[in-house]
Amino acid sequence: MHSTLRKAFNIKLAQKGLILVGVPLVLELTFILSLSILLKQVEHESVREVRAKEVMLRADHVNALASELAMATAAIVETRQQSYLRSAQHCALRLPKESEALANLIKDNIRQRQVAANLEILGQVAVNSFQFVNTHQSSPPAVLAAAVNEVWRASYEVSAQLERIIAEESLVSAERLKRQNQWRDSAQLLVYAGVAVDVLVTISLALFFATALVNRLKILQDNSKRLSVGAQLLQPLSGADEIADLDQTFHDMAAKLTEAMRKERAVVENAVDVICSLDQSGVFSKVNPASLTVWGYTPEELVGSNYLEIIAAEDVTHTERSVQEIVETKSTGQFENRVKSKDGILLDMLWSVHYSAAEKALFCVVHDIRERKELERLKQEFVAIVSHDLRTPLTSILGGMAIIKTGKMGELNERGQQIIATAEKSGARLIRLVNDLLDMEKLEAGKFELELESTPLAKVLSSSAEAVGEFAKQNSITINTPADAPTVIADGDRIEQVVINLLSNAIKFSPVGGVIDVTVDRKDKMVEVRIADQGLGIPESHRDVIFEKFKQVRISDAKKKRGTGLGLPICKALIEQHGGSIGVESKEGAGSTFWFCLPATEES
């Protein structure tokens, strides 16, 4: 007997199902269908009852807001206290919204639709009267009293209109409740009858399988509850049926879920950055322990408080605007502000915020950027030192050497002239380095102003070639520029600076007697300028980095001096500020072609 039972307990669920379901199938289907119809009727009546209660609740809320607005408006005139003003402003803000919500609830009711329209009008009258009182508090008492009376009148009429709606919905609610009870009684009767019949048919089969199947399912159910509260699961079920397989899978899933949750908690709790979540009101709902290290507040101190309470007063408006934009666009964004630590110190922070519309919450990662801010400050100080404490003395030194070179301070011999010439070249190179550094800083800081206008490109190319003409002549280099070229929208001086830099590089890397070709081509709404030399070309490993700061191509010719490493980055920044692009094409040993594109004018 025990062997037979054990074999029955271990058979597959499909076989058990055939035994248990085959006989009472028709009865159960009929019972379920009938019960479903009754339950739908109960549900239908329940929904209508809930809607009636919601209408009454909303009507009470509108009535309360209208009354409170009237009382607060009267109190403002009498006492001039700010607490009444805030209360009235809150009611004036909520009343139109609540009236609109009520109107949406009763829009399908023809009798109540006109009442809803009247409510919106009366609510707006009350709000307008309050706003008049608020903005004309210095008006004569008689004028203010009239406005207050208008608020009271509108409030009384709102109350009267709402009484009609509440009375009607009360009758509807009572009627629906009665019908709901009738359908529920019918469903209950059907349940009793169906159960009785079903029990009579299936009692023998149920007794046979109940012991094993019910107990095993209870274990699964118990494990589900344990998993939901984080408790330890019961021991895995034995056997070879699907329930045992499901239980084993459940244990495996629980183990993986526990491990994932442990890792997630470890990441959040040990994160250097502050990780937190805010509700729609800006109140902290969760905060990781990093808040104590970074801000000095424990998570318990922050949870339940508004995040604006720890933001520097000067940054509150900017922070609110940034968060509101993220919420409205339902996206992710970043912004910087200063947070007041528990010690009262202002800390520079970078907030990365994501808004979840499903959870109606903000998830934030707050990164400490004090070190970056300090580096920026040091960088600005360095630029100031370079600008004032280095460029000015260098300019004076070069001016002094120019005076000495003229012989006004006494004639120099040939050796002295050579020393002065070398010093002038070195000083000029230092001045160029300082100017490049300052230009680069302005470009990165967005402080480099351009005067964009229609610029004849041919004139820019010609004047640039003249500017480097002496340098080209010393190296026997020929520069070919086009006689005609389109006009572009650009700052002529800055584009000339770019072309001079590119031509100087081309001369420096071209062989003696070489040729540099400058060509211009129109491409859609852009004009492309190409400067091709006959030098050694640029190794492929350097082509992607030559437009980065202080990156230079190695020069094999020792006679050719290295530059500052800022010329090409400045060219790139200037061209991009014009809305254009810049690049290079090169083949090692066969020369290089630098190109840049600028927006063309409509005329060209």
pLDDT at 559: 40
Which residue bears the tokens 């609110």? 320
Is there a contact between 351 and 336 (Cβ–Cβ < 8 Å)? yes
In a domain, 189, yes or no: yes
In a domain, 3, yes or no: no
Q: Are 340 and 211 part of one and the same domain?
A: no
pLDDT at 437: 61
pLDDT at 193: 75
- Domain stop point among 341, 368, 395: 368
Read off the DSSP letter of residue 315. G
Rounded alpha-carbon distances, angstroms, from residue 148 to 261, 384, 531: 59, 63, 79
Residue type, 130: F
Q: Does the pLDDT value for residue 147 go beyond 90?
A: no
Q: Tell me the pLDDT tens digit for each residue of 331-381.
A: 889 999 999 999 889 999 999 999 988 888 999 999 988 888 877 777 666
pLDDT at 539: 78
- Domain stop point among 344, 368, 392: 368
Q: Are 216 and 346 part of one and the same domain?
A: no
In a domain, 524, yes or no: yes
Is there a contact between 76 and 134 (Cβ–Cβ < 8 Å)? yes
Q: Are 46 and 112 part of one and the same domain?
A: yes
Between CA 447 and CA 455 the distance in angstroms is: 22
pLDDT at 557: 46
What's the token pair of residue 503? 């031509």
Between CA 397 and CA 350 the distance in angstroms is: 45
The candidate with the shortest Cα–Cα distance to 405, out of 397, 419, 417, is 417
Q: Are 459 and 420 part of one and the same domain?
A: no
Q: Are 439 and 497 part of one and the same domain?
A: no
In a domain, 5, yes or no: no
Q: Are 174 and 80 part of one and the same domain?
A: yes
Q: Are 50 and 95 part of one and the same domain?
A: yes
What's the token pair of residue 493? 């001086």
Q: Does the pLDDT value for residue 8 go beyond 90?
A: no
- Alpha-carbon dihedral of residues 64, 69, 75, 78, nearest 10 degrees? -140
Q: Does the pLDDT value for residue 91 go beyond 60?
A: yes
Q: Are 406 and 517 part of one and the same domain?
A: no
Q: What is the number of domains present in the chain?
A: 5
Range of the structural domain that residue 402 is part of: 373-445
Q: Does the pLDDT value for residue 495 go beyond 70?
A: yes
Is there a contact between 355 and 327 (Cβ–Cβ < 8 Å)? yes
Q: Are 439 and 470 part of one and the same domain?
A: no
The stretch 79-89 carries a mean pLDDT of 67
In a domain, 7, yes or no: no
Is there a contact between 11 and 241 (Cβ–Cβ < 8 Å)? yes
Q: Does the pLDDT value for residue 298 go beyond 80?
A: yes
Determine which of 99-113, 450-464, 587-601 has the lowest per-residue pLDDT on average: 99-113
Q: Are 337 and 469 part of one and the same domain?
A: no
The candidate with the shortest Cα–Cα distance to 10, out of 243, 172, 223, is 243
Percent of the chain surpassing pLDDT 90 = 13
Maximum separation of any 2 CA atoms in the chain, in Å: 132
In a domain, 231, yes or no: no
Return the axis-axis angle of helices 25-79 and 13-22, rounded to nearest 10°.
Answer: 100
Higher pLDDT residue, 127 or 488?
A: 488
In a domain, 228, yes or no: no
- Domain stop point among 222, 253, 286: 222
Between CA 501 and CA 529 the distance in angstroms is: 14
Q: Tell me the pLDDT tens digit for each residue of 30-54.
A: 777 777 776 676 666 666 667 777 7
Pair type for strands 361-368 and 346-356: antiparallel
- Alpha-carbon dihedral of residues 150, 153, 159, 162, nearest 10 degrees? -80
Task: Give alpha helix (H) positions in 136-234.
Answer: 141-229
Q: Tell me the pLDDT tens digit for each residue of 224-243.
A: 777 766 677 777 777 666 77
The stretch 454-470 carries a mean pLDDT of 88
In a domain, 1, yes or no: no
Q: Are 250 and 148 part of one and the same domain?
A: no
CATH number for the domain spanning 298: value is 3.30.450.20
DSSP secondary structure string for all residues of 352-385: EEEEETTTTEEEEEEEE-HHHHHHHHHHHHHHHI
Q: Are 307 and 436 part of one and the same domain?
A: no
User: Can you tell me whether residue 523 is helix, strand or coil?
Assistant: strand
CATH number for the domain spanning 485: value is 3.30.565.10
Compute how many other C-beta atoms are within 10 angstroms of the C-beta atom of residue 560: 13
* Average pLDDT value for the chain: 75
What's the token pair of residue 375? 């580096």
What's the token pair of residue 486? 């389109």
Confidence of residue 558 (pLDDT cuts 50, 70, 90): very low
- Alpha-carbon dihedral of residues 424, 425, 427, 430, nearest 10 degrees? 170
